[in-house]
Structure 1
Amino acid sequence: MTYGLLYKHQICNRCNKPMLFAITKKTIDECWWRCAKKSCRLTKRVRCGSFFKDKHVPLNKCIMIIYYWSLNDVSQATTEEILKVSSTGVVMSWFGMLRDLCTRWIRDHPIQIGGHGHTVLIAKNLISHRKRSRNGVVLPLNEKWVFGAIDQDTKETFLVEVYETNAETSLPILLKHLLPGTTVCSKDCNEYNKLMRATDNQSILFVAPTGPRKNIVENLWRCMTDKLKRMRGTSDANTLSYLDEFLWHRQRRNGDRSTCFQKALELIRTYYPCS
Structure 2
Amino acid sequence: MLHWFFQSPVTSAAGQVGVSNECAGDWYSYCREVCYTIVSQNDICVGGVGLHVEVDESHVFKRKYNRGRLTAHEHVWIFGGICRETKEMFVQVVPDRSGATLWPIIQRKIAPGLNHNQ
8 Å contact kept, 1:123–1:148: yes
Letter paired with 1:70: F
Relative contact order higher in (CA < 8 Å, ≥ 6 apart): 2
Is 1:75 matched up with 2:9?
A: yes
Distance 1:173 1:82, change over 3 A: same
Query: Identity, % of aligned pairs?
Result: 22
Instruction: Kindly provide the CA deviation profile for residues 88-119 of structure 1, in whole angstroms up to 9, marking residues without a partner as x.
Output: 63222322333332233224323431022223
3-state SS of 1:150 partner: strand
* Distance in 1 separating the partners of 2:87 and 2:33: 24
Is 1:108 matched up with 2:41?
A: yes
Q: Matches of residues 1-275 of structure 1 in structure 2 within 5 Å?
A: 66-71=1-6, 73-85=7-19, 87=20, 89-125=22-58, 144-179=76-111, 181-182=112-113
Instruction: Kindly provide the CA deviation profile for residues 101-139 of structure 1, in whole angstroms up to 9, marking residues without a partner as x.
Output: 22332243234310222232332345589xxxxxxxxxx
Distance 1:124 1:97, change over 3 A: closer
Letter paired with 2:26: S
The offset of 1:77, in angstroms, is 1.1
The offset of 1:68, in angstroms, is 1.2
* Distance in 2 separating the partners of 1:115 and 1:102: 25
Which runs of 5 or more structure 2 residues have no equivalent in the other structure?
A: 63-73
Query: What's the TM-score once normalised by structure 2's chain length?
Result: 0.61
| Equivalent residue number for residue 24 of structure 1 | none
Letter paired with 1:147: F
* Distance in 2 separating the partners of 1:152 and 1:108: 21
Which runs of 5 or more structure 1 residues have no equivalent in the other structure?
A: 1-65, 130-141, 184-206, 211-275
8 Å contact kept, 2:81–2:90: yes
Query: What's the TM-score once normalised by structure 1's chain length?
Result: 0.31
* Distance in 1 separating the partners of 2:32 and 2:58: 22
The offset of 1:69, in angstroms, is 1.7
Structure with larger Rg:
1
Give 4+ residue runs of structure 1 displaced > 3 Å after superposition: 124-129, 142-146, 152-157
* Distance in 2 separating the partners of 1:97 and 1:144: 17
The offset of 1:80, in angstroms, is 0.8
Letter paired with 1:67: L
> Aligned-pair RMSD on alpha carbons?
3.3
Count of aligned residue pairs for this structure pair: 106
| Equivalent residue number for residue 232 of structure 1 | none
The offset of 1:169, in angstroms, is 1.7
